[in-house]
């Protein structure tokens, strides 16, 4: 390539990149973001091709980083009128933060005929009642054990406090991803209401601090804990129900138990960036995903719990048990981490992991 040609070509590329509206005009695919890795691969394989076949809408699969990095990227891009993805799967904390700053595009309820399938807590609305998102997938965080070390499955979260389990636990390292405050409040304080005041949070933290001597690993990296759980090095802890089930089905000596107090039900939601220029196909996608048949498919192939109620799906008892439970779940109090996140995280560092 000659220098002049190169300059011409790069000038053309720069012009094209800086004019996204031109790119869009050419009937571009709908960009859908999911967490990179397992989720993205599963959606690429099981969901997108059939969606395209059913609706004629092409999908460009985008890998999102976990944590709040994606929220920050979406917010920055929206200021410049850009949308790195039209539809994004987003964690609840990031969803609420985006709601507060008006980052999500309001959706047209008339275009969402399947909205009725979802329970209220999976239909996200702005204060003025406008819908802006729906529950995408949900998953349980349960009490997991190594079956070689624990012959009997534990039945209660109180096992975490049992002095017999000294130095045996692996727990997630942050208040905002472990939901241990909710677990402690439900187990010892009759529910999560106590967490609505600062004094209540501190009281719960004092109770949770009693598990410190039992904890060998406060993990940020899931792989590290899973490996230690499978070898029996760290034989008890909290982990994802679906992944643990998958490991057990591959012959690993692990089990996931739904404690009597309930397991934590965490979830991701679909939202549309306000900078997206593909609102209609985005709504079509969100509506498509709220069908019981699609939720059942996600349960079978991706291992997530359905966001629609069980009766609507055709999941067998066995299939349902693999991803969920009829026991009442512990629901994360996401709002407190948005309103008092810095304070809770600081207290958490000082009292729990410090």
Helix axes 69-79, 92-100, angle to 10 degrees: 30
Nearer to other proteins, 23 or 69 (CB): 69
Q: Which is nearer to other proteins, 178 or 313 (CB)?
A: 178
Task: Identify which range of 69-77, 112-120, 131-139, 310-318 contacts other proteins by CB under 8 A.
Answer: 69-77
The binder of other proteins chosen from 20, 36, 41, 68 (CB under 8 A): 68
88 binds other proteins (CB under 8 A): no
Query: Quick one: which of 45, 158, 224, 316 contacts other proteins (CB under 8 A)?
Result: 224
Q: Is residue 100 within the footprint of other proteins (CB under 8 A)?
A: yes
201-220: which residues touch other proteins (CB under 8 A)? 215-220
Which of 41, 233, 243, 312 is close enough to bind other proteins by CB under 8 A?
A: 233
Dist. CA 254–CA 137, nearest whole Å:
24
Distance CA 138, CA 268 (A): 6
Query: Is residue 95 a contact residue for other proteins (CB under 8 A)?
Result: no
Does the protein bind other proteins through residue 354 (CB under 8 A)? Answer: yes
Please state the closest distance from residue 66 (CB atom) to other proteins, in A.
9
The least distance separating other proteins from the CB of residue 101, rounded to whole angstroms, comes to 5
Output 52 or 177, the one with its CB closest to other proteins. Answer: 177
Q: Is 323 in the site for other proteins (CB under 8 A)?
A: no
**Which residues contribute to the site for other proteins (CB under 8 A)?**
67-69, 71-72, 75-76, 97-98, 100-101, 173-174, 176-177, 215-221, 224, 228, 231-233, 338, 341-342, 345-346, 349-350, 353-354
């Amino acid at each position: 390539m000659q220098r002049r040609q190169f300059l011409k070509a790069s000038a053309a590329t720069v012009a094209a990149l800086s004019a996204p509206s031109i790119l869009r005009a050419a009937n571009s695919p709908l960009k859908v973001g999911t967490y990179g890795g397992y989720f993205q691969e599963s959606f690429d394989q099981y969901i997108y091709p059939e969606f395209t076949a059913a609706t004629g809408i092409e999908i460009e699969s985008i890998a999102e980083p976990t944590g709040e990095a994606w929220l920050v990227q979406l917010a920055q891009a929206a200021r410049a009128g850009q949308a790195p993805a039209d539809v994004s799967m987003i964690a609840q904390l990031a969803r609420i933060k985006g709601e507060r700053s008006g980052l999500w595009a309001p959706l047209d309820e008339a275009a969402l005929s399947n909205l009725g399938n979802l329970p209220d807590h999976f239909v996200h609305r702005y204060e003025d009642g406008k819908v802006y998102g729906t529950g995408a997938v949900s998953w349980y965080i349960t009490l997991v054990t190594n079956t070689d070390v624990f012959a009997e499955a534990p039945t209660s979260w109180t096992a975490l406090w049992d002095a017999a389990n000294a130095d045996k636990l692996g727990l997630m390292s942050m208040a905002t991803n472990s939901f241990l405050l909710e677990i402690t409040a439900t187990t010892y304080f009759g529910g999560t209401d106590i967490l609505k005041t600062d004094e209540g949070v501190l009281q719960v933290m004092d109770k949770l601090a009693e598990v410190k001597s039992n904890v060998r690993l406060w993990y940020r990296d899931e792989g590290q804990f899973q490996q230690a759980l499978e070898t029996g090095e760290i034989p008890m802890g909290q982990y994802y129900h679906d992944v643990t089930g998958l490991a057990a089905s591959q012959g690993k000596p692990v089990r996931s138990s739904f404690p009597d107090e309930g397991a934590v039900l965490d979830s991701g939601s679909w939202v549309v960036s306000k900078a997206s220029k593909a609102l209609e196909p985005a709504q079509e996608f969100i509506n498509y995903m709220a069908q019981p048949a699609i939720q059942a498919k996600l349960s079978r192939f991706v291992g997530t719990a359905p966001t629609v109620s069980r009766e609507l799906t055709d999941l067998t008892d066995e299939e349902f048990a693999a991803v969920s439970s009829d026991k009442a779940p512990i629901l994360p109090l996401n709002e407190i981490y948005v309103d008092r996140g810095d304070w809770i995280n600081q207290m958490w560092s000082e009292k729990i992991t410090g």
